[in-house]
Amino acid sequence: MTAAQSKESWTSDQPILSLRNVHQSFGDVEVLKGITFDIAKGEVVCIIGPSGSGKSTLLRCINALVPIDSGSITVKGQEVNDPALDKLALRRKVGMVFQQYNLFPHRTALDNIMMAPIHVLRQDRDEVKARARALMRKVRLADKEHTYPGELSGGQQQRVAIARSLAMNPDIMLFDEVTAALDPETVKEVLVTIRELAEDGMTCMLVTHEMGFARELADHIYFTDRGVIVEHGPPETFFTRAGDPRTREFLSQIL
């Protein structure tokens, strides 16, 4: 089956994201060792675990920023590992927000949000501008349209980065430790933005160390260590009845 045929056959009752036995290595170091799970449309999933356990690499594989060695990743039925994959088309479906904001410093907040839809998707400037302004309101930065990144706080820059990703109208949003570089005061404003996205029905996958946020918002939590999924479950059981000693040790150190 071709990627195009697979895409056409996807229906909303199937997983929007599916991983099967995914392996990935950097040189001789195997980072992902057979990752398998599904995410349903509208689900919020948090990936937690110690540094170096493969969490960020996993997100980058889903967005085709890092190739996998074997296994399968499908987004709405489209195989990410297909050599004929249109990566631009994939990244329209899968938005990604990084720990570092990666905003263009010489462009205003509004211009940063507008750039990809105009220059990559070739969409009408006036329509894009109207949508970008709506997104600025959505992330509670309507008064910062003409502000440059260097004049914004870290939390404000991260919210612009979220709005920029949303401007591509993705089906899934990936968040890679987006609060890790922020001070405690600005962490909350970014988490509120993500919470509102989830409440609006956006499918979200987060690598995070914010355990309170994961407990409150996630439908399912996966704990990874040394490239494998050690344990997973809904927050109400994951945090209170973890079965694996590695999970219990990790939680005891951060809760």
Inside any domain, residue 126: yes
Between 5 and 18, whose confidence is greater?
A: 18
Inside any domain, residue 162: yes
Inside any domain, residue 136: yes
pLDDT tops 80 at residue 1: no
pLDDT tops 50 at residue 157: yes
Inside any domain, residue 123: yes
| Average pLDDT taken over every residue of the chain | 92
Q: How far apart are CA 42 and CA 172, in angstroms?
A: 9
Inside any domain, residue 226: no
* Torsion angle (degrees, nearest 10) of CA 167, 169, 174, 177: 20
Query: Measured on CA atoms in the order 243, 249, 251, 255, is the torsion positive or negative?
Result: positive
Decide: helix, strand or coil at residue 100. Answer: coil
Inside any domain, residue 16: no
Question: How many structural domains are present in the chain?
Answer: 1
CB atoms within 10 A of CB 188: 14
- What pLDDT score does 13 carry? 83
- Which residue is it, tokens 């309170």? 212
**φ, ψ for residue 230 (rounded to 5)?**
-80, -40
Determine the structural domain holding residue 111 and report its residue range: 104-169
**Which residues on adjacent β-strands are paired with residue 47?**
207, 222
Q: How far apart are CA 169 and CA 117, in angstroms?
A: 9
Inside any domain, residue 129: yes
- What pLDDT score does 5 carry? 44
The mean pLDDT of 209-221, rounded to a whole number, is 93
Segment 131-152, tens digit of pLDDT: 999 999 999 999 999 999 999 9
Inside any domain, residue 156: yes
The mean pLDDT of 233-244, rounded to a whole number, is 94
Range picked from 12-16, 116-120, 158-162, 181-185 for highest mean pLDDT: 158-162
Q: How far apart are CA 196 and CA 244, in angstroms?
A: 32
